[in-house]
Amino acid sequence: MTSWVGARSAVTPGQIDAVARAIRNTPVVDNHAHPLLKAEFLGTKPLLSITSEASGDAIEAASFSLPHLRAVRQLATVLKCSFRWESVVAAIEQRRIDAFDDWTAQCLSGIETVLVDDGLDNPDNAWDYTGFDDFTRSKCKRIVRVEKLAADIIKSIAKTYDASTQTRTDVLDDAYDEWLGEFEKGIRTALEDPDVVAFKSVICYRTGLDLEAADEDAARKAFGEILANFSLMDFERLQEVSLNDLVVHRTASLIRDSDGHKKPIQFHTGLGDNDITLSKSSPAHLQSFIRAYPSVPIVLLHASYPFMREAGYLASVYENVHVDIGEVFPQVSQDGQERVLRQILELCPWTKILWSTDGHWFPETYLLAIIQMREVFETVLCEYVRKGHIGPKAAIDLVRDVLFRNANKLYRLGLEFTELEEDPVIDLGPFLTDVDLFQNFLRDQETPDFIRITWNDFVAQPRMRMVPFRKFMTLLSDGKSTDIGIVKAVFGLIQNDLLVPGVTSTGEYRLHPDFSSLKKGPLDGHVSMYAEFREKSGARVALCPRSLLQRAVEFGTENHLNFLLGFEIEFLLIERLDRTGSFHSGNDTARYGSLATDGHAWSVSRYYADPKISKLLRDIVTALEDMGIYVEQLHAESAVGQFELILPPYPPIEAVDTLLHTRDVINSIATAAGFKVTLHPKPFPHGCGTAAHTHMSIASAAGARPDVYESFYAGILKHMRAILAFTYANPASFDRAVDGAWAGGRWVCWGTQNRETALRKVEDSHWELKTMDGLANPYFAMAAVLFAGIGGVLAREPLKWRDCEIDPAKLTDNDRKEMNITERLPASLEEALTALQADEELVGYLGEELVERYVAVKEFEMSFLAKMGDEERRQWLMERY
């Protein structure tokens, strides 16, 4: 299991910060977009189209795409509404009603100017390019769509010719010459018009990018057929190969032969609606055309997705070719967008890359494009800087070139670069590096000796790696990674490092510390952080317990639900015995025995008279306070030497991190005082059990509503049998799971202030989960609980179980049936694992890979433990928990 700490090229946190701020504060020259619909026509287009090129019936499926789900989250954040599409639509409609111009201005925030292709829509339905001027820092410009210009002239000419003469060759020839002359006149006029900065070809949509040399005879014949049959046709656009090829070639020739500045031609390439023949949308088809017009600037639009490398290659080897990376924001998932940027940068000089929103119809398309672009640029470029692929200054130049300077130069816009005065629409918060977090933490601390990077594995063993402080600071100061390589078998081990069959020791994860989890302790001279496992690419590991809980939290946030968790830590102080045993244990080979009783009972005060115990408990509370963990209560529990310490509520990840850290502190201080601490749920057969009760509440505003929190807890009860596989995670857990012992009982039910039910309602959305102990991995357990509850809210699960006011075990069968208390909790871990595997909905939330591995580990662990006798097994578990 050898590991090492990886290294990266040196870069300071301040330099990373500067790159991030450049990305956030650089104004955008939107080099390709379309008009916005006038307010009265907004209802004529589907709002779902903001993240999809689909149309008609196909667009309904867009709501099940990653781009759509991401857009919902981001729009809901801006609109301050629920993370549901229906809520987002309602909030947008309200913004349109209340202050449409203000909302549009917010959506276009950060844009310097827009270059508008106005050939997409009926001019009566949409603004012209000057309509953007009220919302951008500089005046906007126009792009002429050449195929529309050509088609409009054909329609105008066709209406003026006598139908009785339209079949005569001389008439058709005259009409063709007139059309071509008017088209060339239109192009020349645009070349001279200062408000026109470029031309646009959509030949990709019409006949494909595989242009042939202009064939005048074929074009003349095709034109004649259109004119001759015009009265019988529903003519809207050019669809004939020869005419389309001619229009593009003639435009390029006129640009080439023009005096002075050569205005670019933009080509739609790659993704688009279903009019496109995808095989003909690759920019590679344009290579001959590019060679034929070396003085004509050519812009390949939309990153040519999915042909990014082809576009980057062409721009790298032809001086007149530039690449736009618009439309993929927000039409492609975040991973896809990052891949687009990386692949374009593989070959293409960044001085030839442009950016656009491809915004159209709705202001929200501009908003999403800008938010997502800044997010992806920050992810990719800051990573490149950290790895030393590019220097910080060069990265800032790249950002300013791609977003502003390249388009300003190519289109001769004459704009002056000035940073935005405020950050974009979504506040991304201060950019705090790991070094910032660490230095802030150390400000009021003594210099530690070791940094502990910790995790909790599949059998709830707290594990860690330690790095000497001096080495850790050197890594941070040099800008190197603090990730640690850990063998992938980490999620296939049981307590004594035996490996589950089928899991190998090959491969490696990266143990990635979360600097926001920094805590002093648990020992003097130690500082601890909790960590997540990642692939070398940085991607999350599906098997990582902490990442699973993070995913559950994000699932809640997406659905406008936030939570607080608070844990009760029950622990048992026991004595270490020599191998001959003692009278306390009643076993000559026992290693651990209970303390002397002295009348120990629940909440009694007499036990604190023992100065050794009293000092120990005081030291625990004082040490935790010194770490910023403020204990709410501490009292004696029922078993001899058993105590309960109550932690304050925190958000889920912080709550579990705090729980585990507090346990480490208790164990460390108790060990130093000569005691052994155990979390074993039933360490002594005739003593009371030890649990890890969990208090939960919905912190978001919706949580105060009974219809929300009741559905949340109904979801938990619906999946309670499966959840038990994580909360009662060891065969020993079921020794405690009995009726009549304040342990949550054996029935799937709930009750107000009833400690004999699995769920105890305390007040409103504050409920307590009774069925969990210290042998559970709390990341897994809380993830399962939250996923089940959130699913209940989404499905509006009814709380069909009635409030149980007494011990459900004492109810008659008829009474239980009337209260819908019909299911018993599993009586063994085997039964709980079977229930988990059968619960398709919960498995869907957790992930099949994780559930399959968890079950395999637990089955292997059960098989190993079953070979021991009862006392040997109890002692073996007490050693480890």
What pLDDT was estimated at residue 169?
67
- How sure is the predictor about 4, in pLDDT bands with cuts at 50, 70 and 90? very low
Task: Tell me the percentage of the chain whose pLDDT exceeds 90.
Answer: 41
What pLDDT was estimated at residue 11?
62
- Asked if the model's pLDDT at residue 92 lies above 90, the reply is no
Q: What are phi and psi of 865, to 5 degrees?
A: -70, -30
Compare 76 and 658 and report the one with higher pLDDT.
Answer: 658
| Of 80-84, 409-413, 810-814, minimum mean pLDDT range | 80-84
What pLDDT was estimated at residue 548?
94
What pLDDT was estimated at residue 422?
53
What pLDDT was estimated at residue 139?
93
What pLDDT was estimated at residue 657?
94
What pLDDT was estimated at residue 9?
39
What pLDDT was estimated at residue 427?
45
Which stretch, 58-67, 176-185, 270-279, 583-592, has highest mean pLDDT?
Answer: 176-185
- Asked if the model's pLDDT at residue 585 lies above 50, the reply is no
Domains with residue ranges and CATH for the chain: 13-47+60-410 (3.20.20.140), 434-540 (3.10.20.70), 550-880 (3.30.590.10)
What pLDDT was estimated at residue 8?
36
Helix-strand-coil split of the chain, %, nearest 5: 50, 15, 35
| Of 213-217, 225-229, 653-657, 667-671, minimum mean pLDDT range | 225-229
**What pLDDT, in 10s, does the model give residues 440-453?**
788 777 888 899 99
What pLDDT was estimated at residue 426?
45
Determine how many CB atoms are found less than 10 A away from the CB of residue 784: 29
**What pLDDT, in 10s, does the model give residues 347-401?**
999 999 999 999 888 899 999 999 999 999 998 998 888 888 888 889 999 999 9
**What pLDDT, in 10s, does the model give residues 203-251?**
988 888 998 888 888 988 888 888 877 765 667 778 889 999 999 999 9
- Asked if the model's pLDDT at residue 144 lies above 90, the reply is yes
Residues 6 or more apart in contact with residue 814 via CB below 8 angstroms: none
Tell me which residue has tokens 């619960």. Answer: 839
- How sure is the predictor about 459, in pLDDT bands with cuts at 50, 70 and 90? very high
Q: Find, among 211, 145, 210, 218, the residue nearest to 183 by Cα.
A: 145
Compare 400 and 52 and report the one with higher pLDDT.
Answer: 400
What pLDDT was estimated at residue 42?
80
Q: What Cα–Cα distance (Å) separates residue 376 from each residue in 31, 108, 550, 821, 822?
A: 19, 18, 21, 50, 51
Average pLDDT on 719-728 reads: 95
- Asked if the model's pLDDT at residue 572 lies above 60, the reply is yes
Q: What Cα–Cα distance (Å) separates residue 92 from each residue in 78, 96, 304, 329?
A: 10, 6, 31, 20
Measured distance CA(549)–CA(578) in Å, rounded? 41
- How sure is the predictor about 582, in pLDDT bands with cuts at 50, 70 and 90? very low
Measured distance CA(210)–CA(232) in Å, rounded? 30
| Of 560-569, 654-663, 711-720, minimum mean pLDDT range | 560-569
- How sure is the predictor about 846, in pLDDT bands with cuts at 50, 70 and 90? very high
Measured distance CA(790)–CA(793) in Å, rounded? 5
What pLDDT was estimated at residue 430?
47
What pLDDT was estimated at residue 589?
58
Average pLDDT on 116-139 reads: 84
| Of 357-366, 410-419, 675-684, minimum mean pLDDT range | 675-684
CA angle 389, 391, 397 (to 5 degrees): 115
Average pLDDT on 584-601 reads: 63
DSSP-H helix ranges across 193-240 = 203-206, 216-228
Mean pLDDT of all residues in the chain? 86
What pLDDT was estimated at residue 526?
92
| Of 83-87, 416-420, 605-609, 743-747, minimum mean pLDDT range | 605-609
What pLDDT was estimated at residue 163?
54
What pLDDT was estimated at residue 18?
85
Which stretch, 77-81, 128-132, 250-254, 477-481, has highest mean pLDDT?
Answer: 250-254
What pLDDT was estimated at residue 497?
85
**What pLDDT, in 10s, does the model give residues 746-764?**
889 999 998 889 899 998 8
What pLDDT was estimated at residue 432?
53
- How sure is the predictor about 121, in pLDDT bands with cuts at 50, 70 and 90? low
Q: What are phi and psi of 583, to 5 degrees?
A: -70, -25
**What pLDDT, in 10s, does the model give residues 299-342?**
999 999 999 999 999 999 999 999 999 888 888 888 889 999 99
What pLDDT was estimated at residue 39?
79
- Asked if the model's pLDDT at residue 127 lies above 70, the reply is yes
- Asked if the model's pLDDT at residue 411 lies above 90, the reply is yes
Compare 684 and 190 and report the one with higher pLDDT.
Answer: 190
Q: What are phi and psi of 343, to 5 degrees?
A: -70, -35
State CA 190 to chain mean position distance: 45
What pLDDT was estimated at residue 233?
63
Tokens representing 875 are: 């002692």
Compare 45 and 430 and report the one with higher pLDDT.
Answer: 45
Average pLDDT on 700-717 reads: 89
CB 811 within 8 A of CB 766: no
| Of 82-86, 486-490, 623-627, minimum mean pLDDT range | 82-86
Compare 826 and 163 and report the one with higher pLDDT.
Answer: 826
Compare 171 and 512 and report the one with higher pLDDT.
Answer: 512
Task: Tell me the percentage of the chain whose pLDDT exceeds 70.
Answer: 92
Measured distance CA(182)–CA(184) in Å, rounded? 5
Measured distance CA(299)–CA(200) in Å, rounded? 9
